[in-house]
Structure 1
Amino acid sequence: MHHLDVPYEHVESAGAFPLGRWLSDQRQAYRAGTMAGERAAELEEPGIVWDTADAAFEQNLAAARASYELHGTLAAPRGATILDIAIGQHLTNFHRPGGLGKDPDRARRRAAALAAPIDPDCNPRGLGWTVDRQRHYAYLPQLLAEGARLTAVVPGVTRHGEDIGRWLTTQRRNWEQLNEEQQRRLATLGAK
């Protein structure tokens, strides 16, 4: 083992030592301030993870970056995976109330980590539309940047398995039902 980040249920040597539970107890002592500094230093040497929630968030953040790199949006379908991480489900959870943590400062830091360097539209619900709509919208400029003509984006034209042509046809048909920002973004692409 090269780190001390194991599940709570982890047991070493065929049931001899409950390492996961022991590490959890060490984390609690550290947070409570009852652990001596020397003991903390000893545990840091082999790589104890003091805050498993932050470590998991960082791992998911790396997967979010990889997903954005591939798809150009963090509006991943719920079932999407990347780097063996269920990124779609994690992003769905992040958008739920309290999904970025109960501590308001931690939640703000995490929201900023998702938005600023990765995707400013990472929470489309805050913009007044769905994750599904954001994903389709993000794929349209990608198609255009690759040389597709807007008139050729018709039902059946797909990107990453999404029918962008059908979506665009629906947007045009329901133009008056779109909010002002949705209309503005589509008009900027010439899609009115």
Structure 2
Amino acid sequence: MYNVDTQLIKFVTDHYYIQRPGIVNKIIHNGRTFYNKFERIDEPLTRMVMNDHADGKIVVAHDMINRHNKVENIVFDYNGRNPDRFWHRAQLMLREEGFINFTAYETKTPGHLHLYVHKGHTTFQEAIQLGRLLSTKLATKLPKEWRMFPTTDLPREYNILILPYKLYAKERGASWSKHM
């Protein structure tokens, strides 16, 4: 059963993506060719689909951008070797920037994290600018071992993330924030 608390993040549930064994389509973006292995399914993301993902029967991804071109979360896709250090530094930086709601989830690969920064109903371009700003500020403290989502460096079909497997840590309107 899919028991990850996804209520902490708002993601698009009116469609989802399933990873296929072969190439679904070929995308040319900014002079580069991408071979997409995720097929878009235009059906609601249900608990049954999420359970199949948790059981390892299928690999499911959710979209970062809704049909109105709005983004709810800015995501750090951390692929380094020290998730504890990354979480600690990112947590301090996000608090300093005034963010009080963010959640980190573990991916299938041990030590890799998806850190969802809850911005809420942000335009695509604003989310990209904010993501670059946060990434730059964090890169002054740590070696850059992450990618930011959403991004214009990848095609629209690549601004998706695989559903989380396990909660790593969360920050929710901490009591210290009222004293700042």
TM-score clears 0.5: no
Which structure would you say has the larger Rg? 1
Highest relative contact order (Cα 8 Å, sep 6+), 1 or 2? 2
TM-score by length of 1: 0.22
TM-score by length of 2: 0.23
| Higher strand content, 1 or 2 | 2
| Higher helix content, 1 or 2 | 1
